[in-house]
Structure 1
């Protein structure tokens, strides 16, 4: 890991990434793509050590309360968060200034900060977003080797349910010929329904591959799924979008089960919910 002094922390849409790079080792990670212009190894995590100071300055200068998001480009609960506590420091600020927050992660390290998330939600709004891709625990360990398994993430969703913290699940990516089965999708949906998730974000059934990401993915396939790389190359060539042959059937399954259970499943509806700040706080802030 290495430290940098960032010039700013919040994007135009009030998103923040405290780290750059990742230690989770997911074989499909788009973050490895060359288009992101990494100047260091992907696992050599860049740490924005002045993020809390920048965030406090930004929150104090805003005229209207809003949702603050983290985790879009780098998971806020990487392994080193256990020692650095950068995410927790930022959540403390969001809690103090009574903003809302949404955190997107694959890690059950988020459980450490449930007290803060609950406090934020009582004052404004907190949402935990969790990525689920693979119901089979052993397969999950191959696809996402250095992070907690799907079952452990489900337990996070259940803890959020017990505390009254809303959740949204990302059902993405689903890898063709590997986990694009009815059994896998049904298992994940069962978890989502039991946990009472507010929404499920998915963009069809498949994966995207770009230069940099593709090479790492194919190397992982050679290691754990012999012959699968050749099947991918034969089926998709160097395409960016790799839809599953089962896309139509599995998309219908997701849509039908979400409709039956009242779970949001259109991306635009889920994103609207994530960005929506409680109206009473919006009105109050106009007169602060």
Structure 2
């Protein structure tokens, strides 16, 4: 890792990334794409050393409370967070100023900060978003090698629910000819049902590929799924959107299961819930 001085910390939509780059090693990661203009090696994580000062100064000057988000580009609970603790300190600042908070992670390490998540939720609103892509742990360790297996993330989701923290699952990406099976999708959905998640975000059963992440993805396909790269090139070429040939069937399973168990799956409604800070817990419930 290396440290830099940042000029600002919050985006126009109140999102932040204290870290830039990642060590999870997920074979499909869109954040590797060249369009994001990262000038350093992806695994050489950039740490915004003045992020906390910038965050406190920004929240102090904000006139209206809102939701603060993190994790859209880099997981806030990478292993280096255990040493640096910057995500936890950011949570402390958010809680102190009475703002809401939501984060996206693949790590059960989020439970380290359960007391702070609860404090934020009691004062405003806190939502934890967890990515699940492969029900089978052995397959999970191939496509997401340096991160906790699905069963540990599932346990974290249950713990969060029991602690009163609402959760949302990202069921994305789904890799054609690897994780696009009915067994995999139903396995993940069954875990979501048991963990009582509030919503599941899914943009379709597929993955996005573009310059930067496509090359890395194909390299990993050669290493773990010999011959599959040729199939991808033949069917998809240089397409950005790479959808499973089973998309229609699997999306039907997804929608039917969510509806049967009262899990929100309308992406627009979920994003509205994640981005809006309501005044009461009842208003949170009404969005679902």
Following superposition, the deviation at residue 170 of structure 1 comes to 0.3
Q: Does 2:102 correspond to 1:95?
A: no
Following superposition, the deviation at residue 237 of structure 1 comes to 1.1
Cα distance in 1 for partners of 2:75, 2:273 equals 21
Give the conservation status (yes or no) of the 8 Å contact 2:124–2:279: no
Who is 2:286 aligned against? none
Who is 1:285 aligned against? none
Who is 2:106 aligned against? 106
Q: Does 2:222 correspond to 1:222?
A: yes
**Counterpart secondary structure, 2:9:** coil
Give 1:115-264 correspondences, 5 Å limit. Answer: 115-264=115-264
**Counterpart secondary structure, 1:207:** strand
Q: Write out per-residue CA displacement over residues 65-105 of structure 1, whole angstroms, 9 at most, x where no aligned residue.
A: 11100001111111100100010000000111111100100
Who is 2:62 aligned against? 62
Cα distance in 2 for partners of 1:27, 1:223 equals 11
Following superposition, the deviation at residue 280 of structure 1 comes to 4.8
Cα distance in 2 for partners of 1:113, 1:164 equals 14
Structure 2 gaps, min length 5: 282-288
Who is 1:44 aligned against? 44
Give the conservation status (yes or no) of the 8 Å contact 2:124–2:277: yes
Cα distance in 1 for partners of 2:264, 2:278 equals 18
Following superposition, the deviation at residue 279 of structure 1 comes to 2.2
Q: Write out per-residue CA displacement over residues 171-207 of structure 1, whole angstroms, 9 at most, x where no aligned residue.
A: 0000000010000000000011111111000100001
**Counterpart secondary structure, 1:151:** helix
Cα distance in 2 for partners of 1:121, 1:183 equals 35
Cα distance in 2 for partners of 1:225, 1:280 equals 49
Q: Write out per-residue CA displacement over residues 10-38 of structure 1, whole angstroms, 9 at most, x where no aligned residue.
A: 11111010010000000000111111111
Cα distance in 1 for partners of 2:212, 2:13 equals 27
**Counterpart secondary structure, 1:191:** helix
Cα distance in 2 for partners of 1:24, 1:18 equals 16
Cα distance in 2 for partners of 1:120, 1:85 equals 17
Cα distance in 1 for partners of 2:66, 2:38 equals 30
Cα distance in 1 for partners of 2:276, 2:194 equals 24
Cα distance in 2 for partners of 1:63, 1:237 equals 49
Cα distance in 2 for partners of 1:280, 1:263 equals 21
**Counterpart secondary structure, 2:242:** strand
**Counterpart secondary structure, 1:80:** helix
Who is 2:82 aligned against? 82
Q: Write out per-residue CA displacement over residues 18-67 of structure 1, whole angstroms, 9 at most, x where no aligned residue.
A: 01000000000011111111111000000001111111011111111111
Cα distance in 1 for partners of 2:41, 2:276 equals 36
Structure 1 gaps, min length 5: 282-288
Cα distance in 2 for partners of 1:55, 1:236 equals 42
Cα distance in 2 for partners of 1:40, 1:273 equals 35
Please provide the CA RMSD for this pair. Answer: 0.9
Q: Write out per-residue CA displacement over residues 94-145 of structure 1, whole angstroms, 9 at most, x where no aligned residue.
A: 1111111001000111111111001111111100000000001100000000
Who is 1:31 aligned against? 31
Who is 1:278 aligned against? 278
Who is 2:285 aligned against? none
